[in-house]
């Protein structure tokens, strides 16, 4: 499920390919700024990410002549989508932390329950730097008694919404209708 930004993938590729990943990278950079104070790994990761962000900005936004209305609209949509994802991740993190406190558990205890050994990795998961697996989220729901809908993102990127709408139109099934708000209604 590609509803969450994975910094390692972007750093590995060395390139940001679209506005949504650009806005996701900016949010990740802000998160890494806080984490980098205490951890050299996050400091190094942030440095690499910032370099990739700068390359994208100089490629896509430096030449004012190339910035048209379409580009601005695309940027605005991507910014809203990235912010929606950020809010979701923050809400999920708070829900998990609240339940951990209620059960007198620590993040390290949760890592043990999930089968993760690295404290850094668990921090990356909790802070949305790396995506949880569906298995991790299922275990968290099961053990901490958190509704799965609070843990698993149920929104689609604008790109995925368009693809689903186009496929639904091709199906021409009268029982399958697309609402005006880009949501599928069955």
Report how far residue 2's alpha carbon sits from residue 163's, in angstroms, rounded to the nearest whole number: 14
Query: Minimal CA–CA distance to 181: which of 161, 166, 151?
Result: 161
Angle, vertex CA 157, rays to CA 44 and CA 176, nearest 5: 160
State phi, psi for 17 to the nearest 5 degrees.
Answer: -100, -15
Report how far residue 4's alpha carbon sits from residue 133's, in angstroms, rounded to the nearest whole number: 11
Rounded to an integer, the average pLDDT of 124-130 is: 89
* pLDDT value for 184: 43
Q: Is the pLDDT of residue 178 over 90?
A: no
**What are the pLDDT digits (tens) for 83-121?**
988 999 999 999 999 999 999 999 999 999 999 988 888
Q: Cα dist. 164→12, 71, 185 in Å?
A: 29, 23, 12
**How far from the centroid of its chain's Cα atoms is residue 15's Cα?**
17
* pLDDT value for 35: 86
**What are the pLDDT digits (tens) for 38-91?**
889 889 999 999 999 999 999 988 888 888 888 899 899 889 988 988 999 999
**What are the pLDDT digits (tens) for 23-38?**
999 999 998 998 888 8
Is residue 182 very low, low, confident or very high in pLDDT (cuts 50, 70, 90)?
very low
């Amino acid at each position: 499920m590609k509803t969450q930004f994975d910094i390692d993938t972007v750093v590995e590729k060395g390139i940001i390919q679209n506005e949504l990943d650009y806005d996701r990278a900016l949010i990740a950079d802000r998160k890494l700024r806080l984490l980098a104070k205490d951890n050299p790994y996050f400091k190094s990761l942030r440095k690499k990410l910032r370099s990739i962000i700068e390359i994208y900005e100089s490629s896509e936004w430096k030449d004012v002549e190339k910035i048209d209305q379409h580009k601005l609209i695309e940027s605005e949509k991507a910014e809203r989508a990235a912010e929606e994802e950020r809010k979701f991740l923050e809400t999920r993190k708070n829900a998990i932390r609240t339940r951990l406190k209620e059960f007198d558990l620590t993040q390290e205890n949760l890592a043990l329950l999930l089968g993760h050994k690295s404290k850094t990795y668990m921090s990356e998961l909790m802070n949305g730097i790396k995506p949880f697996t569906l298995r991790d989220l299922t275990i968290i729901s099961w053990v901490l008694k958190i509704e799965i809908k609070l843990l698993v993102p149920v929104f689609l990127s604008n790109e995925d919404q368009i693809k689903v709408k186009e496929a639904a139109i091709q199906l021409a099934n009268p029982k399958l209708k697309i609402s005006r708000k880009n949501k599928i209604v069955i």
